[in-house]
Amino acid sequence: MKNVILTDKEKLELLMKEGGLTQTDIAKALEVSFNTVYRWLNKGIRPHPSQSRHLDGLFNEHIDRAMIVVKLAKGLKNPAGILKKDASIRERFMVEMTYNSNAIEGSRMTVMETKHAIDGDPVRGKQFFEVLEAVNHKNALLYLIEAVKPGFKITEEYILKLHSLVMYDFSNKLPGRYRTGRVNVTDTEVKFPSADMVPSKMKAFVRNAHAPAKNLIKKIANDHYDFEAIHPFFDGNGRVGRLIMSTQLLSSGFPPAIIRVEDQYDYYQALAKGDMGNFKLLSQMLSEAIMKGCEILYSPKKNPDERHLVKSQNSLQKMFEF
């Protein structure tokens, strides 16, 4: 199966096909020569990492990643069902999701240490609470996978259950209960609603969570911002918010989203832009995170169901025919 995370060459091709840019335009925007862009396109030369980051910015400026994800999802069959049925894919997803989501929140666990914790094996050199965070997140994912299905509706009870699992045995964080006081988050001047406003805001959030939308990916990105802006818990808001995001996606027939820890800065920047009413970057990030989830679900080394592989491969081939 073709890698569903877009390569630099594929981004260049989409910029030319969908963005209307020429090789000259791209070279000028990236401050490189025409021949450099030509070699990237035709000679198998890969951009330097710094050039790749600039290319990514140009791609986000001109191409709607949500469009790519919607095209991709049309060729996939029930991602939620795959997670339920295939133990090897489910385990890989839980490790990747748990590692990245916890790392974004400051966990020092490595991928392998996270896997050991999830498997119930000893994890040397780590404190008990670090291992517990990994186990808790795994249990929340198991609950999510068991509960979610096409058309599944998020409720307050579901969100509180996710939080109770993520924060299990952290009693000072009020597992499964909304916060009772104010919270402060570094690197933002945005004031979160007072504790007495949280219940009503969460009721409104739930009502809107599965409202129809012309562009579902952009709506889910906006919903994620709204949840984080409410910040309904003393702790665990980021982890629960990302679990809700994947719940919305899976219940709508999309792969889950995995925001990688290496994209942490961009993720926080995207949320910060939401403070100004700009959700474009967050939508782009969510689209990329869905592609990462798709890669895990439909990797040929992990998924023995060739019918799914063929469908996914055909969908991607059509997407990138130029």
The pLDDT, as a whole number, for residue 306 is 36
Residue 70 pLDDT:
83
In the chain, which ranges are continuous DSSP H helix? 8-17, 23-30, 34-42, 49-62, 65-73, 79-85, 87-104, 111-119, 128-147, 156-166, 198-209, 216-230, 237-251, 264-274, 280-297, 306-319
Q: Write the CA distances from 220 to 46, 142, 143, 147, 251, integer angstroms.
A: 33, 22, 21, 19, 12
What is the per-residue pLDDT for 39? 96
Topology agreement, domain 1-63 and domain 66-319? no
pTM over 0.75: yes
pLDDT tens, residue by residue, 268-321: 999 999 999 999 999 999 999 999 999 899 875 543 333 343 344 444 444 444
| Burial 248-286, CB ≥16 within 10 A → b, else e | bbbbbbbbbbbbbbebeebbeebbbebeeeebbbbbbbb
CA distance linking residue 264 with residue 20, whole number of Å: 30
Tens of pLDDT, residues 87-108: 999 999 999 999 999 999 999 9
The total of other beta-carbon atoms located within 10 Å of residue 287's CB is: 24
Q: What is the pLDDT of residue 68?
A: 83
Contact 222, 248 (CB under 8 A): no
Distance CA 294, CA 297 (A): 5
CA–CA distance, 72 with 10 (Å, rounded to integer): 15
3-class SS of residue 125: coil
Output the pLDDT for position 5: 67
pLDDT value for 309: 38
Q: Residue 102 has what pLDDT?
A: 98
The residue ranges of every structural domain in the chain are 1-63, 66-319
Structure tokens at 115: 């896997």
Question: What is the chain's pLDDT, residue by residue, as a tens digit (322 residues)?
Answer: 344 567 899 999 999 998 999 999 999 999 999 999 999 999 999 999 999 989 988 998 898 888 888 887 888 888 999 999 999 999 999 999 999 999 999 999 999 999 999 999 999 999 999 999 999 999 999 999 999 999 999 999 999 999 999 999 999 999 999 999 999 876 666 789 999 999 999 999 999 998 889 889 999 999 999 999 999 999 999 999 999 999 999 999 999 999 999 999 999 999 999 999 999 999 999 999 999 999 899 875 543 333 343 344 444 444 444 3
Rama region for 277: left / alpha / beta (φ>0; ψ in -120 to 50; rest)? left
What is the number of alpha carbons within 13 Å of residue 237 lying toward its C-beta? 20
Residue 187: predicted pLDDT: 63
Which CATH number is 66-319 given? 1.10.3290.10
- In angstroms, what CA-CA distances link 227 with 110, 164, 241, 242, 244? 28, 17, 6, 10, 9
Identify the sign of the CA torsion 16, 19, 25, 27: negative
Rounded Cα–Cα distance for residues 104 and 260 (Å) = 8
From the options 2.40.30.10, 3.20.20.80, 3.40.50.300, 1.10.260.40, give the CATH code of 1-63: 1.10.260.40
- Are the CB atoms for 286 and 221 separated by under 8 Å? yes
Cα 120 to chain center, whole Å?
A: 26
